[in-house]
Amino acid sequence: MSAALAAVETFAAEGRDDAVVALVSKVYPMRSHTVAAEGGAAGVVPGGADTAEQHVADTLRGGAGLGHDDAVRFVVDRAPAELARLERLGMPWSRTADGDPAVRRFGGMTNPRTWFAADKTGFHLLHTLFQTTLREPSIRRYDEHVVLDLLLSDAPSSDAPSSGASRPSSGAGSQSPADASRAARGVVAYDQQRGEPVTILAAAVVLATGGYARAWGTSTNAGIVTGDGLSMALRAGLPLRDLEMVQVHPTCLPGSGILITEAARGEGGVLVDAAGERYLADYGLGPVTPVGEPAARQMELGPRDKLSQAFWHADRAGRTIPTRDGGVVHLDLRHLGKAVIDERLPLVAGLARRFGGVDPVREPIPVRPAAHYTMGGIVTTAHGQVLDAAGAPVAGLFAAGECASTGLHGANRLGSNSLVETLVVGRAAGTLAAAPSSPSEPLSSSGPPSTAARPASSAPPSSAVPSSQSQDPGEAALVDRARARAEHWLAMRGRGTESPAEIRRELGTVLDAEVGIFRDADGLARAAATLEDLHARYQDVRVADTAAVFNTDWSQVLELGAMLAVARGAVAAAIGRTESRGAHQRLDHPHTDDVARHSLVTLDAAGAVEVRWQPVDAAVSAAAAATPGKDHR
Ligand SMILES: Cc1cc2nc3c(=O)[nH]c(=O)nc-3n(C[C@H](O)[C@H](O)[C@H](O)COP(=O)(O)OP(=O)(O)OC[C@H]3O[C@@H](n4cnc5c(N)ncnc54)[C@H](O)[C@@H]3O)c2cc1C
């Protein structure tokens, strides 16, 4: 939504009255997963003790060598202005008694810098952006449209879901499938309400499809966070970076995985084991801080990965409390008192009562870790420009938010850095996408040249995208390709024998068991074998429902395919990363390599997973070279 608004602002500044932005979402936009974000968004409050330099340093430290200095500075420098701008659009930030934005501490921060709206920050942020888009007539909404594929000129035609073993490899010298001539031309989607495929041709596409942490069985993410955009990029021959970097949040409700935000610890909540002891001190997070007086980067406010690792050790040492959903520790907020809990943590209190069965004013909350945030994503510059496997920009293609790997988070995201990333990078991507100098020329023959996006053709009830009536051979070929892609996916309906629910269950179970807080070669090999088996079974997956309208059987199978594709990449990269760094901890390789390298996952022509390794310095140079203008910071 940030990207859409930025594009509209760019159009307005240039007097392009007839330009249109298509906002496409598989759910009603207010159901996007951002609505669930609780704790807040990071940004230095001007005039306070905190500094941009410190925000940069904390973020790079958290990123454990995989963060890009330029990308971090880009977001940090623009964060305060984006957060203030959001307020002008209606965001109700919590305030101090003096009227300044109230900020709280999150893990890994030297100074408090997380702006918040109680513990419903994502809800208010999404609402603010959404209601602003409603005021813009040039933003056309395509709600409940599932995007099936990207349309790129010269895109490879191979289907990802073919057979082929995962083949991790190493060495930066591998062949790349780069094709610098490719450009984004739109998307092919499916209108769930009308039961029709739709081709949306566009001069530029911004992917903001979210992460992939729902692939794990125990996850804080909603059911829609299934890596769709990443799997589309992979099918289009584009690389995905650092897929193995999956953040496990230390404090979630057992069973459901519902998040109890880090803000609860930022406000002074403490973690205790079965014996009531502040166990974190025994796992390198001490010295113990006084109860209710959290201190920077210590104990409960240590980095998330360290807290999850401490839980893992405590669990194995028999220090957790057994439940039917595994061992738990207690998050104790009682000393904060009812008034603070009601004012600062009302959502946490409600979740604990409704889904945890405890009242945090009177009882501690049982918590254990769950998959939470995926650092891996589509390779982009700090501005969200997508790069291909050779590091060249793909004209007119952008990605922002959790689906992108800009270099901000590195190997481990600091809490509250991601909401602000969606604002800053979304705006940058939208501005570039709308710029007349955008490398992607608008489609020439149908519609005015300044039309950034327009609904192209709707299909007849026969469920195929019709052939183009256009006289432009390029556009006609694109629409024909869109029709072929839609038919490919639609052909899954009413076919198959393999239970999608069973594939889904096995996927979540194996990722929880083998690709969690700690990994090793044997476990990852088991995960890879299971995923290849699931991938093979997916080729014959059953879609019982043949309905055209709101066929959730089918759309969930599409999401399952995306999760499988991304999970295969994540496991292959985890096998190849024989070191411990950030969110990727190997029991059999506890050291950290001297040279920090990114993993780059692509698919070969047969659909097998390939992994290449790229030194971080080379990735930073590629991003800088692909960034227009002198001051790319
Ligand atoms: C419980 C929880 C709490 C969090 N709290 C915080 C916090 O306090 N601070 C913070 O900084 N971060 C937080 N995060 C992380 C942060 O919320 C996310 O990283 C961020 O909201 C992701 O935003 P996004 O715009 O990238 O994706 P999303 O908000 O997930 O939106 C993705 C959009 O893409 C659409 N989409 C996806 N696939 C398709 C498709 N195939 N076709 C059509 N549309 C599609 C969806 O419909 C949706 O509209 C939290 C995460 C969780 C899980």
Residue 590, token pair as written in the block: 């506890």
Distance CA 480, CA 201 (A): 12
Q: Whose CA is nearest to atom 41 of ligand 1?
A: 147
Distance CA 181, CA 573 (A): 28
* Residue-wise pLDDT tens digits, 272-306: 999 999 999 999 999 999 998 888 889 999 888 89
Please tell me if the CB atom of residue 146 comes closer than 6 angstroms to any atom of ligand 1: yes
Span from the CA of 211 to the centroid of ligand 1 (angstroms): 7
Residue 437, token pair as written in the block: 């100098």
Span from the CA of 281 to the centroid of ligand 1 (angstroms): 33
pLDDT of residue 472: 67
Please tell me if the CB atom of residue 26 comes closer than 6 angstroms to any atom of ligand 1: yes
Span from the CA of 235 to the centroid of ligand 1 (angstroms): 22
* Residue-wise pLDDT tens digits, 407-440: 999 999 999 999 999 999 999 999 999 986 544 4
Please tell me if the CB atom of residue 380 comes closer than 6 angstroms to any atom of ligand 1: no
Using the atom order of ligand 1, give the atom closest to the CA of residue 426: 25
Q: What is the mean pLDDT of the chain?
A: 89
**Cα-based angle 171, 174, 175 (whole degrees, multiple of 5):** 170
Residue 630: pLDDT above 50? no
pLDDT of residue 274: 97
Please tell me if the CB atom of residue 40 comes closer than 6 angstroms to any atom of ligand 1: yes
Residues 233/234/240/246 CA torsion (nearest 10 deg): 100
Distance CA 430, CA 132 (A): 15
Distance CA 350, CA 580 (A): 37
Cα 75 from chain centre: 16
Burial 16-25 (b: 16+ CB within 10 A, else e): beebbbbbbb
Question: What is the DSSP track for 555-583?
Answer: HHHHHHHHHHHHHHHHHHHHHH--S-BTT
Distance CA 209, CA 374 (A): 12
Please tell me if the CB atom of residue 107 comes closer than 6 angstroms to any atom of ligand 1: no
290: region left, alpha or beta (phi > 0 left; psi from -120 to 50 alpha): beta
Using the atom order of ligand 1, give the atom closest to the CA of residue 558: 41
Residue 220, token pair as written in the block: 């804080």
The residue type found at 607 is G
Using the atom order of ligand 1, give the atom closest to the CA of residue 419: 11
Using the atom order of ligand 1, give the atom closest to the CA of residue 400: 26
Residue 117: pLDDT above 60? yes
Q: Whose CA is nearest to atom 34 of ligand 1?
A: 209
Distance CA 197, CA 109 (A): 47
* Residue-wise pLDDT tens digits, 459-503: 332 223 333 445 567 788 888 999 999 999 999 999 999 999 999
Selection from 348, 361, 280, 364 nearest residue 319 by Cα: 280
Distance CA 97, CA 191 (A): 48
Span from the CA of 373 to the centroid of ligand 1 (angstroms): 10
Q: Whose CA is nearest to atom 13 of ligand 1?
A: 37
Span from the CA of 33 to the centroid of ligand 1 (angstroms): 4
Partners of 370 in the beta sheet? 249
> Which residues are catalytically annotated?
249, 265
Question: What is the DSSP track for 519-532?
Answer: E-HHHHHHHHHHHH
Cα distances from 79 to residues 83, 85, 375, in angstroms, run 6, 10, 19
Residue 561: pLDDT above 50? yes
pLDDT of residue 297: 83
Distance CA 368, CA 379 (A): 32
- If you compute the radius of gyration of the chain from its CA atoms, what whole number of angstroms results? 23
Using the atom order of ligand 1, give the atom closest to the CA of residue 221: 53
Span from the CA of 322 to the centroid of ligand 1 (angstroms): 32
pLDDT of residue 459: 32
Q: Whose CA is nearest to atom 49 of ligand 1?
A: 32
Span from the CA of 59 to the centroid of ligand 1 (angstroms): 20
pLDDT of residue 106: 85
Span from the CA of 418 to the centroid of ligand 1 (angstroms): 9
Q: Whose CA is nearest to atom 4 of ligand 1?
A: 37
Distance CA 243, CA 246 (A): 7
Residue 458: pLDDT above 70? no
pLDDT of residue 108: 85
The 3 state secondary structure assigned to 387-425 is ECCCCCEEEEEEECHHHEECCCCCCCCCCCHHHHHHHHH
Please tell me if the CB atom of residue 227 comes closer than 6 angstroms to any atom of ligand 1: no
Residues 314/319/320/322 CA torsion (nearest 10 deg): 130
Neighbour count for residue 321 (Cβ, 10 Å): 15
Please tell me if the CB atom of residue 209 comes closer than 6 angstroms to any atom of ligand 1: yes
Span from the CA of 502 to the centroid of ligand 1 (angstroms): 26
Q: Which of 402, 403, 555 to mutate to test the pocket of ligand 1 (most atoms within 8 A of CB)?
A: 402
> pLDDT tier at 352 (50, 70, 90 boundaries)?
very high
Using the atom order of ligand 1, give the atom closest to the CA of residue 417: 11
Please tell me if the CB atom of residue 221 comes closer than 6 angstroms to any atom of ligand 1: yes
Scanning 272-323, the segments in alpha helix (DSSP H) are: 304-316
Neighbour count for residue 335 (Cβ, 10 Å): 11
Distance CA 138, CA 332 (A): 49
Distance CA 204, CA 11 (A): 14
Please tell me if the CB atom of residue 147 comes closer than 6 angstroms to any atom of ligand 1: yes
Please tell me if the CB atom of residue 11 comes closer than 6 angstroms to any atom of ligand 1: no
Q: Which of 1, 2, 5, 34 to mutate to test the pocket of ligand 1 (most atoms within 8 A of CB)?
A: 34
Please tell me if the CB atom of residue 309 comes closer than 6 angstroms to any atom of ligand 1: no
Using the atom order of ligand 1, give the atom closest to the CA of residue 219: 53
Please tell me if the CB atom of residue 503 comes closer than 6 angstroms to any atom of ligand 1: no
Please tell me if the CB atom of residue 212 comes closer than 6 angstroms to any atom of ligand 1: no
Q: What is the largest CA-CA distance in the chain?
A: 75
* Residue-wise pLDDT tens digits, 23-81: 999 999 999 999 999 889 999 999 889 999 999 999 999 999 999 999 999 999 999 99
For residues 307 and 250, the answer to whether their CB atoms sit within 8 Å is yes
Residue 266, token pair as written in the block: 């930022």
Residue 49, token pair as written in the block: 């003790």
Residue 3: pLDDT above 80? yes
Burial class (CB in 10 A: 0-12, 13-18, 19+), 267: buried
Residues written for the chain: 633
The residue type found at 462 is S
Q: Whose CA is nearest to atom 9 of ligand 1?
A: 416
The residue type found at 313 is H
Please tell me if the CB atom of residue 94 comes closer than 6 angstroms to any atom of ligand 1: no
pLDDT of residue 451: 29
Distance CA 492, CA 463 (A): 12
Residues 6+ positions from 44 with CB-CB distance below 8 Å: 50, 51, 52, 54, 55, 76, 79, 80, 113
Helix, strand or coil, per DSSP, at residue 629: coil
139-143 and 21-25 strand pairing: parallel
pLDDT of residue 465: 36
Using the atom order of ligand 1, give the atom closest to the CA of residue 145: 43
Using the atom order of ligand 1, give the atom closest to the CA of residue 126: 29
Distance CA 624, CA 459 (A): 42
**Cα-based angle 330, 334, 340 (whole degrees, multiple of 5):** 125
Residue 167: pLDDT above 70? no
Distance CA 304, CA 248 (A): 7
Please tell me if the CB atom of residue 419 comes closer than 6 angstroms to any atom of ligand 1: yes
Span from the CA of 186 to the centroid of ligand 1 (angstroms): 22
Please tell me if the CB atom of residue 153 comes closer than 6 angstroms to any atom of ligand 1: no
Please tell me if the CB atom of residue 228 comes closer than 6 angstroms to any atom of ligand 1: yes
Q: What is the pTM of this model?
A: 0.91
Give the full edge-to-edge strand order of the sheet including 270-272. Answer: 246-252, 365-374, 329-332, 270-272
> pLDDT tier at 157 (50, 70, 90 boundaries)?
very low
